[in-house]
């Protein structure tokens, strides 16, 4: 069963292949993603879990699906930025995401996930 991390990695590779094809005129047929740790954060590291091979980068349906999802995400971010109105996450973004977020100290949504960050000032 494909995990969210695996799905995201495959989508990312499809977007990279699109950018590559725009630059070179050739669409890659295969891609490999290597991770310095386990792709699944909760699992122990092993060489099998640190690599994803994508043999179907030329699959038009999957390619179009990735581009469509990416475009939808970009449009959502741009429209939210224009009106400075950011939706609450539908699901917990995860502790690692919150820990690295630059607005975690003033986030209106973080308390619903039982996280608190002490205010820091530059």
- Residue-wise pLDDT for 20-45, tens only, equals 888 999 988 888 887 766 555 555 54
Q: What are phi and psi of 13, to 5 degrees?
A: -65, -35
- Residue-wise pLDDT for 52-68, tens only, equals 788 888 777 887 888 89
Dihedral of the CA atoms 19, 13, 89, 80 (nearest 10)?
0
CA 26 to chain centre: 25
Q: Whole-model pTM?
A: 0.56
- Residue-wise pLDDT for 65-108, tens only, equals 888 988 998 999 899 889 988 777 788 888 888 888 888 888 88
């Amino acid at each position: 069963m494909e995990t969210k991390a695996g799905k995201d990695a495959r989508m990312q590779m499809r977007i990279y292949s699109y950018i590559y094809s725009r630059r070179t005129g050739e669409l890659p047929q295969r891609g490999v993603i290597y991770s310095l740790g386990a792709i699944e954060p909760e699992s122990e590291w092993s060489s099998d879990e640190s690599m994803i091979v994508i043999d179907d980068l030329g699959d038009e349906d999957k390619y179009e699906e990735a581009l469509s999802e990416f475009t939808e995400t970009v449009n959502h971010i741009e429209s939210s930025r224009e009106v400075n109105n950011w939706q609450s996450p539908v699901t917990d973004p995860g502790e690692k995401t919150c820990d690295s977020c630059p607005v975690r100290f003033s986030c209106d949504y973080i308390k619903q996930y039982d996280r608190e960050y002490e205010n820091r000032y530059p």
